Structure 1
Amino acid sequence: MADDLGDEWWTQGDNLGVSEVEEDTQPLTEEQPIKSTSKKRKSDKQIQEEDTQPLTEEQSNKSTSKKRKGEKNIQDGTKKKKKTAKKECFITEERSEEKGDKESNKNKKRRKKKKTITDVLTSSEPVPGSPADLMSLLKNHFSLTRSVIEQEDLTLKDSCFLSSNDLTHSLSSYLKEVCPKWAKIQKQHTQAQSVVLLIVCGSALRTIDLIKQLIAFKGQAKVLKLFAKHIKVDDQIKSLSKGVTHIAVGTPGRIAALLEKEGLTVQGLRYLVLDWNYRDQKFRRMVDIPEVKEDLLKMMDRGLIQSCREGTFKIGLF
């Protein structure tokens, strides 16, 4: 076989291997890179065309449905947040309403507990005053400002009091009972700036009413009204100093002012009558009105308690 192929067989084989290797190692020609770049450009163009190509109906529907789902999820989340916020607001409102109801109920209970003087007096039957009532009033007032020894000077014995009204007497009938020798006593009274009978009441209108009730009792006695309404203290001092006055009817505030200024004295005083049981339109007694009660205690502290302890006059509760 070698002879048939000849000697050129070996040389051809070498040439063939060299040529194949050379072909593999040879650099690309100008045509080859152009072809590769064109392929790249084609691929870029295809990508751009795919990007720029309009979406199909299915793709657009899918994208819009996705967007709508996202929007619905956002809306559902906001709605849930709003619902929770409304629930929280409703709960807070209910709690605040409950608190307000509780506070209003507490206030109503407090208001129910607080009863006025008129409620107490209308619900209870009137009870006539007694010397013990006046003594308890004096002790309760002066116990806060005076020592135990000083409080003993305020105590009044039973002999210092006249018989009290049992709610059956008028003023004239009561005075006739406690002052049986009135005609003789009034003739013996000759001192100025003093009275024999001093009647203390709660208001100016009550003063005028009591003076009218004295007609059946007073006889020839001179009566003077002592209250602050439209009458000055100096004018009352002048009228007391001019002549003899047998009976004076007035309010505790004005009487205390006259005793302080010495326009009225207790030298000729024989009877001190307190309008204790009378009730006004609101069913209040004289001692149930705070201002009048304070004036009454001031009046009693202007030497009346001491003079009564000495036995110069007696106290009656009408």
Structure 2
Amino acid sequence: MCLVLLFLPFLAPSDDEEKGKARNTLEMMQQDVPASPKKDMQPKECFLMKTKEKKEEATKAKRRRKKKITDILAKSEPKPGVPEDLQKLIAEQLSIKRSVIELEELKLPDSCFLPANDLSHSLSSYLKQICPKWSKLRKNHKEKKSLVMLIICSSALRALELIRSMTAFKGDCKVLKLFAKHIKIQEQVKLLEKSVVHLGVGTPGRIKALIQQDVLNLNSLKYLVFDWNWRDQKLRRLMDIPEIRKEVLELLEMRLISLCKADSLKLGIF
């Protein structure tokens, strides 16, 4: 391009064709000059980086907006459990492997249910309401390897909390911890065999194991209370935990439903 510019002054003024060719050559050379690769690449790189950043920001925003089940339950008003909830649960869970006739036999009679807790009671006040003659029942109970009242909860920690909260109700009766954490089943067997126990609080798995070993007799059992409405850290109730729900249903099938139908056992939903 520089050479063309240097030789232009030496062209003859009358030679118009040569001047035109020189100008055309100069224009073509200017058009064919390639753009700087750095200038071409920079906008493309910036565009791709901005697009990627926008996508990442959109993904993070979606993750932030996603609500968890615990968040929904935390904002919803708690509804107290009622006998219909237990009846519905039994029908739904057992209908998979049971015929219509078998399901009818497993249905609990309405007469076996005691008034449910409306969330206004402490455990002691609720137990006093459903069992006003506790003092008399406690004094008359003399049979070993049996209980008068059984409270089913979801964990060992919850069982200890319930035992501490029923001081006003239990009086001087003997209370047995019926859970697996830090307590061997042999220890519970010895306590049931050697002493008279009035009230038991524990998890359905350990209670079921003691019944299966013929260590815990249900003949004297008058009251069965479910710790239904309490929620754990994940806001799950007793029957919301799959493994606990399964064990409760198996426990009911073992003999408790037949005791309810015989009108010798009453159910409470706390």
Q: CA deviation at 1:272?
A: 0.2
Counterpart in the other structure of 2:155? 203
Counterpart in the other structure of 1:172? 124
Q: CA deviation at 1:242?
A: 1.8
Aligned residue among 63, 69, 76 for 1:116: 69
Aligned residue among 256, 259, 269 for 1:307: 259
Cα pair 2:230 2:238 within 8 Å, conserved: yes
Aligned residues: 254
Q: CA deviation at 1:126?
A: 2.5
- Where does 1:7-46 land on structure 2 (aligned, <5 Å)? none
Q: CA deviation at 1:75?
A: 4.8
Distance 2:63 2:168 in 1: 53
Distance 2:60 2:233 in 1: 32
Aligned-residue CA RMSD (Å): 3.6
Counterpart in the other structure of 1:145? 97
Cα pair 1:121 1:284 within 8 Å, conserved: no
Distance 1:215 1:269 in 2: 20
Counterpart in the other structure of 1:162? 114
- Whether 1:215 and 2:167 are equivalent positions in the alignment is yes
Q: CA deviation at 1:185?
A: 1.9
Aligned CA distance change for structure 1 residues 72 and 260 (closer, same or farther; 3 Å): farther
Aligned CA distance change for structure 1 residues 93 and 257 (closer, same or farther; 3 Å): same
Counterpart in the other structure of 2:179? 227
Cα pair 2:113 2:268 within 8 Å, conserved: yes
Distance 2:134 2:63 in 1: 57
Identity across matched positions, percent: 46
Aligned residue among 191, 211, 222 for 1:259: 211
Q: CA deviation at 1:312?
A: 2.4
Higher relative contact order (CA 8 A, sep 6+): 2
* 2:179 alignment partner AA: F
Q: TM-score, normalised by structure 1?
A: 0.66
Cα pair 1:192 1:244 within 8 Å, conserved: yes
Cα pair 1:259 1:265 within 8 Å, conserved: yes
Residue 312 of structure 1 aligns to a residue whose secondary structure is: coil
Unpaired runs of 5+ residues, structure 1, are 1-56
Q: CA deviation at 1:237?
A: 1.8
Measured against aligned partners, the alpha-carbon deviations of 1:144-187 in whole angstroms (never above 9, x if no partner) come to: 23222222222112101111122222222222222222222223
Residue 200 of structure 2 aligns to a residue whose secondary structure is: strand
* 1:312 alignment partner AA: S
Unpaired runs of 5+ residues, structure 2, are 1-5, 12-22
Residue 235 of structure 1 aligns to a residue whose secondary structure is: helix
Distance 1:91 1:139 in 2: 60
Aligned CA distance change for structure 1 residues 74 and 108 (closer, same or farther; 3 Å): same
Q: CA deviation at 1:89?
A: 6.9
- Whether 1:182 and 2:134 are equivalent positions in the alignment is yes
Q: CA deviation at 1:93?
A: 6.7
Measured against aligned partners, the alpha-carbon deviations of 1:77-132 in whole angstroms (never above 9, x if no partner) come to: x758x84x7777777777767776776666666x23xx323x33332223222101
Higher helix proportion: 1
Residue 205 of structure 1 aligns to a residue whose secondary structure is: helix
Structure with larger Rg: 1
Cα pair 2:106 2:253 within 8 Å, conserved: no
* 1:116 alignment partner AA: I
Q: TM-score, normalised by structure 2?
A: 0.76
Counterpart in the other structure of 2:268? 316
Larger deviation, residues 268-277 vs 183-192: 183-192
Measured against aligned partners, the alpha-carbon deviations of 1:210-258 in whole angstroms (never above 9, x if no partner) come to: 2223332223421111111101122212221222211111122222222
